[in-house]
Amino acid sequence: MTEISATEPPVLEVRDLVKDFGGLRAIDHCSLSVQEGKITGLIGPNGAGKTTLFNLITGYFTPDSGRVFTDGADITSLPPHGVFRRGICRTFQIPREHGTMSVLENLMLVPPDQLGEQFWNCWLRPGAVRAQEREIRAKALEVLDFVNLTHLAHEYAGRLSGGQKKLLELARTLMAEPRLVLLDEPAAGVNRTLMKKLSENIEYLRRERGITFLLIEHDMDLVMDLCDPVIVMSEGRRLMEGHPDEVRNDPTVLEAYLGGQYGAA
């Protein structure tokens, strides 16, 4: 993977974001950045504002103040589909698969600007529509093979296990050929075997395809093994950022989030 110049803007930068819900300040002048080619962890207790921050970054919420940038370009006012077109994809705490569609169909829905979406193309350009669908289907099968879900390609997505749905969420983001993926608790409800596979997939995609990741996670073993750097949030703002060892041994983090179990012996 090509080395990133220190002078290039971060792939994602959050500047002084604020978000209130009535009298509750969920995000309180939060600033952070994500460097290209990294797997950055985002941790903190429930209510720290992590998922709200994801919603602000991806256009689901509009901040009361502050800005969001990708590669130096302001994307604060973009709707979710506009952020998606910038190469930023996300997953959710609770997978949002189309349960009554097959696993394969869930993937084939993802690529934007498909010719078949315009009904007149089906009449005027049927050959082009079929050719594009074959390409998308082939890509979807390749992605399913990568996440070990090929054997479930024609199963209803709603019938998958929790862990399989998390793999499907990752597969759906890959269909968009993202530059940055925001993962919201990818290990939640996933057994250890599938979690190991998911972790290996994330590291492979970072190393071999140059995809950058920002992930929210409560499984500290996964965070400490996979992420560098780790950002800690508290009460809607960034508390600290550092190498996993720094976070692991920081007295404030140990006391507030890790319960001392990761402290030095």
Partner residues linked to 34 by β-bridges = 12
Residue 135's pLDDT is 87
- Cα–Cα distance for residue pair 255/194, rounded to 1 Å: 30
Residue 3's pLDDT is 46
Is CATH 1.10.1530.10 what the domain over 12-97+163-258 is classified as, yes or no?
no
* Element of type H or E holding 38: none
Beta strands per DSSP E along the chain: 12-21, 24-34, 39-43, 65-70, 73-74, 88-90, 180-184, 212-216, 230-234, 237-242
Residue 46's pLDDT is 82
- Cα–Cα distance for residue pair 174/205, rounded to 1 Å: 9
Predicted TM-score of the model (pTM)? 0.84
Residue 260's pLDDT is 45
| Helix, coil or strand: residue 206 | helix
- Cα–Cα distance for residue pair 230/247, rounded to 1 Å: 7
| Domain residue limits, the chain | 12-97+163-258, 99-159
Which parts of the chain register pLDDT below 50?
1-5, 259-265
Residue 9's pLDDT is 83
